[in-house]
Structure 1
């Protein structure tokens, strides 16, 4: 994203006074602006004689960000990406992998949508276990204390027919390949993702194959209150940052989203219409009342029909 000084020609409110005010808060670029707590920034304007103009400048930057929803790759990039023989990573459930034409595709942002009891976290843990066992490293960003080493251990033990020694050795490898970080707000998420981006570009974390965020909605929902432009801009920015990470580094990114009550009392995915178009793949999970049978339905997929459905049994 551009430096603030590059915007003054088209947006006079972003003048030297406004930029100096932002610089005093370590804000030089539009990206720095997104990473800052806007509530604190607005409050700090009260200490200046031109408080109202500074607030207008903040609103102006938010408006600019809100309009920058252009594709982050051009047509040739999309064609090249489609022609690449990218790998699929396992979910840990053969029925789901078969249904998804191979599993979770590298280079894609996949979203699991469902109620709190639908099995979203379980699939995240199974996918993390399966990928860490045979494919490479996992970054698990945990926003609700959902990561359970004990459950991962159970998954590895239940899916293996090896000796106890070999199971212990495999479990140690899996645990070493999973990096779990607690992330409780959108600003920390940005910091973690930017650090990951820098590490990948410098090949520090070149063996990372998957990033899991459980859940993305619990991080974004708090900033959407009031319908202001700031929260919306942050949501869109984190979405496109995730897609860029997936595309540039052939990583499979898996996020979870909860359900909310919409018009007429029907349930719908949280985060609204702007978020709906961001993930490459959206999958709806639901759990039946009989036994442990769950179902997965396609809400959005580049190569599958909306409404396609499969039933499976969670471990």
Structure 2
């Protein structure tokens, strides 16, 4: 997260007065800034004294300039095609899913798994986690928001993949795969945001150009976190915008596949919320 205070030394226009103005609107980072209506923010600034108004508007302009400078560069069609061809597709081990997705989960992509309750979404997540950790010898991160993760079910999937191996080889591979699937319980949206920032920090600290061991991030499920707040006001939509931004950033910048699970009702509510916002 890009804290506005950390930018004050490099950009003097972001002085204490501007930071106080932002804090009064719940803005403490560049990410918070993106969630606000800029026209409304400028309107609030214009209600102040003329000198203060000028400073706040200059500050807003400066922050927008900083955000713009962090955008990915423009790419032409050839660059985009080459980038797509260089991305790996991770087979899930589930024939129907792989066929539907033309091979499986594409690295650098954000995949939404939507279905009604008890339709098998978590089973897909667990099976894919076991298969990808085994086949690609990589780390899979599983963020569990509703106690859906089952080490016994993961073990069953892994045993099925290793049934043709000799006993010693099977035991060694079983331990390796099970140790490669990391589960982290997450209780609310705030904690989810903190965990995603921690993951980003860990990936960013790796040597540039080094291929990360983590190739799949699963969130099962976002629905349980947004259900209590979605629909009451804009808070639920804003929170999901922020979480969605972080997940897509992890996928694109660190070239990992990101899978989130949503139930049908939550997905429909999010769609309606997005349309209203537009």
| TM-score, normalised relative to structure 2 | 0.71
User: Which runs of structure 2 are paired with 1:84-123 in the superposition (5 Å)?
Assistant: 84=83, 85-123=86-124
The equivalent position to 1:231 in structure 2, one of 231, 236, 257, is 236
The one of 152, 155, 179 equivalent to 2:182 is 179
The runs of 5 or more residues in structure 2 that have no matched partner are 36-59
Q: What's the secondary structure of 1:184's corresponding residue?
A: coil
Residue 123 of structure 1: CA displacement? 0.7
- Conserved in 2, the CA contact under 8 Å of 1:109 and 1:252? yes
Higher percent of residues as strand: 1
* Residue matched to 2:217: 211
Residue 107 to residue 189, structure 1, CA distance change in 2 (3 Å): same
- Please state how far the C-alpha of 1:251 moved relative to its aligned partner: 0.1
User: Which deviates the most, 133-142 or 230-239?
Assistant: 230-239
1:143 aligned partner: 145
RMSD between aligned residues: 3.7
Cα-to-partner distance string for 1:54-79 (whole Å, 9 max, x where unaligned): xxxxxxx9xx99xx9xx964541886
For the pair 1:221 / 2:221, whether they are aligned, the reply is no
8 Å Cα contact 1:2/1:29 also seen in 2: yes
Q: 1:250-277 deviations in whole A, cap 9, x for unaligned? A: 100001000129xxxxxx644224669x
Matched residues in 2 for 1:134 and 1:193: separation? 25
Segments of 4+ in structure 1 off by > 3 A? 14-22, 30-35, 71-75, 77-82, 273-276
CA offset at residue 190 of structure 1?
0.6
More helix by share: 2
SS at match of 2:165: coil
Provide the rounded CA distance (Å) in 2 between the counterparts of 1:241 and 1:3: 18
- Using the size of structure 1 for normalisation, the TM-score is 0.63
Match of 1:297 in 2: none
Alpha carbons 1:258, 1:270 under 8 Å: kept:
no
Counterparts in 2 of 1:285-304, with a 5 A limit?
Answer: none
C-alpha distance in 2 between matches for 1:184 and 1:87 = 32
Partner of 1:157: 159
Measure, in 2, the Cα distance between the counterparts of 1:72 and 1:234. 21
Q: Is the 8 A contact 1:132 1:178 kept in 2?
A: yes
Query: Which residue number in structure 2 is paired with residue 313 of structure 1?
Result: none
Cα distance in 2, alignment partners of residues 269 and 260 from structure 1: 5
For 2:195 and 2:72, how far apart are their aligned partners in 1? 23
Provide the C-alpha distance between the structure 2 equivalents of 1:203 and 1:275, rounded to a whole number of angstroms. Answer: 35
Q: Number of matched residues?
A: 233
Distance between the aligned counterparts of 1:20 and 1:96, measured in 2?
A: 46
Task: After TM superposition, give the deviation of residue 236 of structure 1 in Å.
Answer: 0.8
1:249-288 equivalence runs, <5 A: 249-260=254-265, 269-273=268-272
Query: For 1:144 and 1:72, how far apart are their aligned partners in 2?
Result: 34
